[in-house]
Structure 1
Amino acid sequence: MRARDGINGQNLMTSAPPSDAFEAARADTVHPAIAEHLAAASADDGPSYRELSLEEIREMDEESPLSADLDIPVEHVEDRTVPGPDGDVPVRLYDSRTDRSRADPVIVYIHGGGWISGSIETHNRICRNLTAETGYPVVSVGYRLAPEDPFPAGLRDCYAVLEWIATTDDVRGIDPERTVVMGDSAGGNLAAATALLARDRDGPEIAHQVLIYPAMGGAQTTLAYRENSDGYGLTAEIMDVVYDRYTESDIDDANYYAWPRKSGDLSGLPPATILTAGFDPLRDVGALYADQLRQAEVPVSFSNYPAMVHGFFAMIGDPVDVDPAHEAYEEIATKLRNQFD
């Protein structure tokens, strides 16, 4: 059986707890509103995740209440395509500015969904809120999904969008030298991998990377995985299914572009902001990656939200609205403004 989640090559990773600089733990109890939401979801006695077809998984994500649109006014929303390595890559541009005469930072947002699901549509509420909170334009990437297009197809699409931003004169009011790569979960993995690829290829400038509960490799060896492998949304079963479908071989699993924690050299990467959730099996790998960046002398800011679960970044309105989710947007906006403004 092929090793999953970057277990191969563990010489380049550590399962030891994060350093005191990036302490990550969970609260005594999950946030009450989230507990109520999880209880309602668990009452739906459907098939296990492993029994679902790929089409059913994608339909479930598209129809999730946390994927529903919210009434967040945005001045300009436009669907486009960007030339990619194997065809056009869909993108959606969100811009909350009424005045686009000046060049501002731009955020490239890479959605989560375990590399096999998720879309521009499922993350519409996140991107609308992100441009509203930061004041910066957001480009959401519709990268190719596994297993039809396994690693590194999605990463190549994300990098193509980065290159497009660096060279296009077709988007008003952006400064490509102040590009932020950002993503949640699998999207956090791809954002980190895009930053690595840009560094290694001497590619487009990335000014900051924002990684929200990222899937960085080696989660099964951590305390967070043992604490949170069932009952909090993202389960060990779900992780097994998506990891099995993302990569095709042990060679892929040994590649640090698939699992960024495997990189033996993180020097020269852009500053990072990393957010994790206490009741998330991926909590510790986010903290450990922050630790690796710190050891490579990369400026890094780390925050753990102890009463939150995986996916809390979408909990900014119906059916679940929790203050820590809004605080996370404020934290990110403040970090970026402090760097750019």
Structure 2
Amino acid sequence: MPLHPEAKAVIDASDARGGLVPFGEDSPARMRAAFAESWQPSPHPEPVDSVVDRTIPGPAGEIPVRIYTPHGDGPFPALVWYHGGGWVIGSLDENDTTCRALCNAVGTIVVSVDYRLAPEHRYPAAAEDAYAALTWVASHGGEIGADGRIAVGGETAGGNLAAVVSLMARDHDGPPISLQLLATPVTAPPSDRPSYVDYGRGHFLDRASMEWFFEQYPRDPSDLDDPYLAPLAASHLGGLPPALVLTAEFDPLRDEGEEYAHRLLDAGVPVTLLRYEGQINGFFALLVDRLSISAEAHARAAAALRAAFAQEAIR
């Protein structure tokens, strides 16, 4: 279907700013500051019972997290959430609205993870922090009112980390994961898949940005063959948690996300794959104040999370 008018407005505004990634900045710190200035959280956030910023132990020091707790009597299940930004930019703030929405709609604690960023901290830093946060919630969840049921989720590079920690949990005997929520996930390096060819320029997230991200995160080209960086490189995908995979029609990452979903299905993993027609990358978490489809996607994800947590509760 045609590009949605709201998505076109986002593209036009991004083009006027010089693109999604502020390449004109001369340092990662300035680049992140410029990005953060463009993507402020809502001035009127959806209320939850509490929002607490704290740190948890990580493999290279303390990891900042933001913990959202829903109204009601706990304990609650937990969603460990990873923000996007190509492992280079982004913070807890840009996904605040989505974390609040899922917290309330599901009745779940959301632990949003501020993992280390490249190029100061190249692979496997982000993946190690992401897995450390998951294992901390599994072993210390009682401290924050969690009941032991855990899902993981994220958008773009955050979707990559959610897929990666699912692989790590399978390979390292846990913790068990109820659902992996993968919104427009990065599962492979830039390629000649049709979505990269058709939508790699002029559709908000572009090929140039993805190529630049893949210059910043890996240590060397051999890392691209590691499933903990590029999940499509995995030789087998059996034994992974159920997945909800959300893609956007006008997104360079569309085909690799859908390929990953089909490979999960082929390996016997329960998967729901939804393509959002007329939409662009960022529709689930980054662009919630610009794209009305975000609310529908949140409702779909919330239903999947509730079902997965309910399944765990009766086992």
For residue 217 of structure 1, what is the aligned residue in structure 2? 188
Q: Distance in 2 between matches of 1:162 and 1:44?
A: 36
AA in 1 matched with 2:171: D
Structure 1 pair 65/142, CA: closer, same or farther in 2 (3 Å)?
closer
**Which of 84, 105, 111 is equivalent to 2:58?**
84
For residue 219 of structure 2, what is the aligned residue in structure 1? 248
Q: Distance in 1 between matches of 2:98 and 2:31?
A: 20
Q: Distance in 2 between matches of 1:216 and 1:47?
A: 20
Q: Distance in 2 between matches of 1:143 and 1:301?
A: 27
Q: 1:80 offset after TM fit, Å?
A: 1.3
For residue 313 of structure 2, what is the aligned residue in structure 1? none
1:49/1:237 contact within 8 Å kept: no
Q: Deviations over 1:167-201 (max 9, x none)?
A: 1155343122x200101000000110111011111
Q: 1:204 offset after TM fit, Å?
A: 1.2
For residue 295 of structure 1, what is the aligned residue in structure 2? 266
Which has the bigger relative contact order, CA under 8 A and spacing at least 6? 1
Q: Deviations over 1:218-272 (max 9, x none)?
A: 4412111111111111011111111100101122111111100000110100000
**Which of 61, 79, 101 is equivalent to 2:35?**
61
Instruction: Identify unmatched segments of 5+ residues in structure 1.
Output: 1-26
- 3-state SS of the aligned residue for 1:239? helix
Count of matched residue pairs: 308
Structure 1 pair 57/68, CA: closer, same or farther in 2 (3 Å)?
farther
Q: Say yes or no: does 1:332 pair with 2:313.
A: no
| Percentage of identical aligned residues | 38
TM-score, normalising length from structure 2? 0.93
AA in 2 matched with 1:288: E
Q: Distance in 2 between matches of 1:64 and 1:45?
A: 12
Aligned pairs (5 A) from 1:163-242: 163-168=135-140, 170-176=142-148, 178-242=149-213
Structure 1 pair 171/242, CA: closer, same or farther in 2 (3 Å)?
same
CA RMSD of aligned residues (A): 1.8
Q: Distance in 2 between matches of 1:47 and 1:195?
A: 28
2:22/2:34 contact within 8 Å kept: no
Q: 1:121 offset after TM fit, Å?
A: 1.8
- 3-state SS of the aligned residue for 2:279? strand
Q: 1:90 offset after TM fit, Å?
A: 0.7
Structure 1 pair 49/60, CA: closer, same or farther in 2 (3 Å)?
closer
- 3-state SS of the aligned residue for 1:168? helix
AA in 2 matched with 1:88: E
AA in 1 matched with 2:94: T
Q: Deviations over 1:94-122 (max 9, x none)?
A: 0122322xx33210000000000111122
Q: 1:134 offset after TM fit, Å?
A: 1.7
For residue 99 of structure 1, what is the aligned residue in structure 2? 73
1:150/1:247 contact within 8 Å kept: yes
For residue 10 of structure 2, what is the aligned residue in structure 1? 37
Structure 1 pair 127/69, CA: closer, same or farther in 2 (3 Å)?
farther
Instruction: Identify unmatched segments of 5+ residues in structure 2.
Output: 311-315
Q: Say yes or no: does 1:149 pair with 2:118.
A: no
- 3-state SS of the aligned residue for 1:71? coil
1:218/1:285 contact within 8 Å kept: no
AA in 1 matched with 2:234: S
For residue 48 of structure 2, what is the aligned residue in structure 1? 74
**Which of 213, 224, 229 is equivalent to 1:258?**
229
Structure 1 pair 120/234, CA: closer, same or farther in 2 (3 Å)?
same
1:74/1:94 contact within 8 Å kept: yes
- 3-state SS of the aligned residue for 1:243? helix
1:110/1:184 contact within 8 Å kept: yes
